[in-house]
Amino acid sequence: MRFGLLGTGHWAAETHAAALAAHPVAELAGVWGRDRSKARALADRYGTRAHPDADALIADVDAVAIALPPDIQSPLAERAALAGRHLLLDKPLAFTTEEADRVVRAVDQRSLASVVFFTRRFTVPVETFLQEAAAAGGWDGGRVTCFASIFQPGSRYHGSRWRRERGGLWDVGPHALSVLLPVLGPVAEVTALDGPRGAAHVLLRHHSGAVGTLALTLDARPAAQAFSADFYGERGTVALPDADTTAVAAFATAVDRLLSRARDGGAADPCDVRFGREVVAVLEAADRSRREGRTAVPR
């Protein structure tokens, strides 16, 4: 399958392009970026072609991988899907449920395969744990803390405008929800408030009756950086295992899963655009809750 890569930043170059170029079946058939010089440099690095515009790249491939800010990703994903291209997208899928819905409709209209890349969900230890935890049931709640510190001098994401504007809720929040939702189920209500250093503290009431809690920031003090996730219930407290792999290897697994769905059809991927849309709905409700000072319901 011929993949086109939309995006030229660090994540696009070091994860998406690296995994696609090394994949035994997929082919990195072209690159497009808003900065043409960066697109040419990235294409040269991986021995492929830089396309002059996004539509030219979409027309030349079977699938697209997108590593761009969510508000740029979602309209490009919709265009690619309407053109009949399978989608391998980054998280979050979009910044609004309306934008996410347009992508879902385009995928459904053309009966396409889709995968949204929540990194930990494409590692064997984590995916096995989540499947077993969901099957076991009996959970009263789950907790995820993600304190990153990406705005320090020298950080590869120091200049990311959308991450500065949207914060940890929208950048690491999708990762947190990607492990809570498969075990605790859909979210009924969300309450969120702002904390120091751009933190978002989120309380989720799931339809199952379980309660999820999130603590998220991209601007933690360097000494306070941490990631932890656990579930508690009738079996005690159980921690999410380490992913035990690299981002490139996880992305290669995402490529494998997209290829399998595109080739064989069958059930949608657990991390398809519909799941991506569910994550966006919860994030949107949390954003609304923290701004308005009241509980919000995902749309």
Residues 124-147: what's their mean pLDDT?
98
Task: Report the mean per-residue pLDDT for the chain.
Answer: 97
pLDDT at 210 over 90: yes
* Token output for 7: 């995006």
Q: What is the pLDDT of residue 104?
A: 98
Single-letter amino acid code for the residue at 171: D
Contact by Cβ (8 Å): 58, 80 = yes
CB atoms within 10 A of CB 35: 11
pLDDT at 121 over 90: yes
Residues 58-79: what's their mean pLDDT?
98
* Beta strands at 236-239 and 226-233: parallel, antiparallel or unpaired: antiparallel
What are 245-267's pLDDT values in tens digits? 999 999 999 999 999 999 998 88
Least confident residue range of 108-117, 142-151, 156-165: 156-165
Q: What is the pLDDT of residue 41?
A: 98
**Percent of the chain, pLDDT > 90?**
96
Contact by Cβ (8 Å): 38, 13 = no
Q: What is the pLDDT of residue 158?
A: 85
